[in-house]
Structure 1
């Protein structure tokens, strides 16, 4: 159980922490200091480095989560916070899959073509999805850490 929980927490920290850094810290600075010809390649390259880690996380989180549920005796023994965590986690995965296969691909193509208006549109879609996923991720972390005390 300790190994599964450690991997689970590490994957969550990498994914949610990465979104927090990108959205809360880097986005305002990049927007204030860089014009689209510099800003859009920065984001495209940042995502190229970050998204492989997200892929690891979206595999590790469900695997370790279901592993821990099995070790606890199945869903009937899992608290409400675990069920909520599963729901928000799978929603986050679905949102990431959309982000990766739609607006991120458009961003890469726009940057390669130096089509800054199209790249800006794609980046704005990515920003919106990351905002939603960050909120879900922070809620999920709060639920995971304190939910068993709230829901009994």
Structure 2
């Protein structure tokens, strides 16, 4: 169980922490300092380095999450409410990530390759909005994970 919880927490920290850094630090700095061709290229290269880590995190979160659900609680039917909330919100986050990866990110890379900077910027804006939503959900999941077991309903 200690391996599962460690991998689970590290995966969440890498994913949500990466989104927090990107949204709260890198995004405003890049917007203030870089013109669209450099800004979208920076984001493409940043995502190319970050997204493989997110894929690993998603897989580990699923594997370790269900491992803990079945090993500790005996399955979903006997899991407490906070576990169901984490599971549901985590699945929503993963669906948003899959959409970002396979739709706007792919289209942004294509627009950059074609040097279509307005389209690349538009796709980056879509990604920014979806990452913002995922960041909020991720912070809620962390709050639920850290305090949920102590809520008595």
Q: TM-score range by the shorter chain?
A: over 0.9
> How far does residue 151 in structure 1 lie from its aligned partner after superposition?
3.9
User: Structure 1, residues 32-81: CA drift from partner, whole Å, max 9, x if none?
Assistant: 01010110100000000000000001111011000001111222332111
Match of 2:5, SS?
A: helix
Write the distance in 2 (CA, Å) between the matches of 1:147 and 1:52: 30
Match of 2:27, SS?
A: helix
Task: Find the counterpart in structure 2 of residue 13 from structure 1.
Answer: 13
> How far does residue 141 in structure 1 lie from its aligned partner after superposition?
0.4
- Where structure 1 has 5 or more consecutive residues not aligned to the other structure, the ranges are none
Task: Find the counterpart in structure 1 of residue 4 from structure 2.
Answer: 4
The size of the alignment, in residue pairs, is: 152
Task: Find the counterpart in structure 2 of residue 112 from structure 1.
Answer: 113
CA contact (8 A) 1:40 1:120 kept: yes
Write the distance in 2 (CA, Å) between the matches of 1:49 and 1:143: 29
Task: Find the counterpart in structure 1 of residue 147 from structure 2.
Answer: 146
Superposed CA RMSD:
0.9
Aligned: 1:128 with 2:129: yes
Task: Find the counterpart in structure 2 of residue 61 from structure 1.
Answer: 61
User: TM (normalized to structure 1)?
Assistant: 0.97
